[in-house]
Amino acid sequence: MTRVLSLDNVNVEGKTVLVRVDINSPLDPSTKEFLDDTRIRAIIPTLNRLSKSKTVLLAHQSRPGKDDFTSTLGHSRELGRVLGRNVKWVEDIHGQKAMEAIESLEDGDILILDNVRKDQEEVSFKGDFHNMSETKFVQRLASVADLFVNDAFACAHRSSPSIVGFCNDLPCVAGELMRYEIEKLNLALNKPERPCIAVVGGIKVADSISVADNMLRKGIADQIWATGGVANLLIELSGNDIGDINHSFLVKELGKEYHSTVETAKALLNDFGELINLPTDLAANVEDNRVDISVSQLPIDAPLFDMGINSIMALSFAIKNAGTIILNGPAGVFEVEDFALGTIEMLNACAESDGYVVVGGGHTATLIMNRGLSDRMGHLSTGGGACLDYMAGKVLPGIASLEISADKFFMDVQKASDKTN
């Protein structure tokens, strides 16, 4: 990653600072009360750095059409509860009410604007960074701000005005969470302790195949261990009939990405077959019962929901003996108790390992937190899709825009910083 400025590089005292955060949180369907405040708490280090600033938070909750698509009023109250202080809120994004609320802020105040995804430009505008900067969304907010902070790593793979639009108009820097995510992921990707293994699974097969491809072709991982839907696809492409029900599921889940994913997976098996470890046995859901079978017993007219016992033991041994473990996705359908064994044992092995464990967010991270294993992991990403794209070597628009801003504003930022020292 090229140069990105951080809060260490700027003077924020007395400044009006726009901060893009991701505090999109699970809500109770009936009461809309918060079920988890993890993402709220994750932005506190950045807010602490801005204690002498006028802080304006840009945030979203869900997306239009979803049952949990709400205003950010509840988020302001939840953040206030966590901080133990008043957090202001305005039912506007960049209209007159929002402008007046921002201009009335005093040093130390925090204001949350309404859900940015209520703005049409935010949800539907397409274009490059320059075009994004010309939206009313960006122009109006930039006119009343001195600095933009991106602390929404989980949204860094998105390209929308609130994520990338300010890089041409304001100095843009990484918040504490954004910087922490980048540093922790780079630790595993750039200088991994050997041996480095990547365990790729879950239902996002196309993304996981991309991660595996990047890890092997760049020499990041010494071995790939495939689980879940990824394993099912690779087992099939290795010449095994996995059964119509399992093949059809893969085709449906991959959709338009099916053919491109298959081609990438075939190339992986051809170029790095000896480095890719596939399960030797699997667990099928036969009339709601777990039935373990060896791969040689395929095909089966039942869905494959987990690894078999022998494969679980082999993966656990590999994890415990690795220097770096990059974990992406569960090993099976862990939501069904009889098929949670592979995922649970995989996570237990990570917790017992002396290696550096990086977990790519999503359902796996949630399960780790629920099982009280967070402190046993090297890094639990808040990223989900952004973490997947980063590990797959893709350009993240949210980070690319910070790099552009660093190149454009570095000298101005440096001069301002020098004056305060």
**Three-state helix/strand/coil letters over 330-399:** CCCCCCCHHHCHHHHHHHHHHHHCCCEEEECCHHHHHHHHHCCCHHHCCEECCCCHHHHHHHCCCCCHHH
Residue 325: partners with Cβ closer than 8 Å, 6 or more residues away: 196, 197, 199, 319, 350, 353, 355, 356, 357, 358
Q: Residue 143 domain-assigned? A: yes
Tell whether 253 and 293 lie within a shared domain.
yes
Q: Residue 283 domain-assigned? A: yes
Q: Residue 268 domain-assigned? A: yes
Q: End of a domain among 354, 384, 410?
A: 354
Residue 309's closest CA among 332, 275, 276, 336?
332
Tell whether 245 and 134 lie within a shared domain.
no
Q: How many CB atoms lie within 10 A of CB 403?
A: 17
Q: What is the pLDDT of residue 363?
A: 77
CA separation for the pair 160, 379 (Å, rounded) = 27
Query: Positive or negative CA dihedral for 388, 394, 395, 397?
Result: negative
Tell whether 290 and 226 lie within a shared domain.
yes
CA separation for the pair 268, 83 (Å, rounded) = 48
Q: Where are the beta strands (DSSP E) in 180-301?
A: 196-200, 223-226, 276-277, 281-286, 289-294
Q: How many residues in the chain?
A: 421
CB 176 within 8 A of CB 45: yes
Q: Residue 106 domain-assigned? A: yes
Query: Positive or negative CA dihedral for 193, 384, 148, 400?
Result: positive
Q: Residue 2 domain-assigned? A: no
- Residue 226: domain span: 194-354
CA angle 281, 285, 287 (to 5 degrees): 140
β partners of residue 290: 285
Q: What is the pLDDT of residue 134?
A: 96
Tell whether 15 and 161 lie within a shared domain.
yes
- Tokens 């955060």 locate to 21
80 class by beta-carbon count within 10 Å (0-12 exposed, 13-18 middle, 19+ buried): middle
Tell whether 309 and 219 lie within a shared domain.
yes
CA separation for the pair 235, 214 (Å, rounded) = 20
Q: End of a domain among 296, 330, 354?
A: 354
Q: Can you give the CATH number for the domain in which 311 is found?
A: 3.40.50.1260
Tell whether 198 and 169 lie within a shared domain.
no
Number of domains into which the chain is organized: 2
| Rg of the chain, C-alpha, whole Å | 23
Q: Residue 375 domain-assigned? A: no
CA separation for the pair 12, 29 (Å, rounded) = 39
Question: For residue 55, what are its two tokens?
Answer: 């802080």
Q: End of a domain among 321, 354, 387?
A: 354
CA separation for the pair 402, 173 (Å, rounded) = 6
CA separation for the pair 14, 50 (Å, rounded) = 9
351 class by beta-carbon count within 10 Å (0-12 exposed, 13-18 middle, 19+ buried): middle
SS (H, E, C) 116-182: HHHCHHHHHCCCCHHHHHCCHHHHHHHCCCCEEEECCHHHCCCCCHHHHCCCCCCCEEECHHHHHHH
Tell whether 43 and 163 lie within a shared domain.
yes
Tell whether 14 and 132 lie within a shared domain.
yes
Query: Positive or negative CA dihedral for 226, 227, 231, 233?
Result: negative
Q: How many CB atoms lie within 10 A of CB 194?
A: 10
- Tokens 């796996």 locate to 364
| Residues of the chain scoring pLDDT < 70 | 1-2, 411-421
Tell whether 18 and 151 lie within a shared domain.
yes
CA separation for the pair 236, 259 (Å, rounded) = 14
CA angle 88, 94, 99 (to 5 degrees): 60
Q: Residue 300 domain-assigned? A: yes
Tell whether 314 and 416 lie within a shared domain.
no
Tell whether 152 and 272 lie within a shared domain.
no
Tell whether 162 and 254 lie within a shared domain.
no
Question: For residue 376, what are its two tokens?
Answer: 């046993």
Q: Residue 377 domain-assigned? A: no
CB 57 within 8 A of CB 5: no
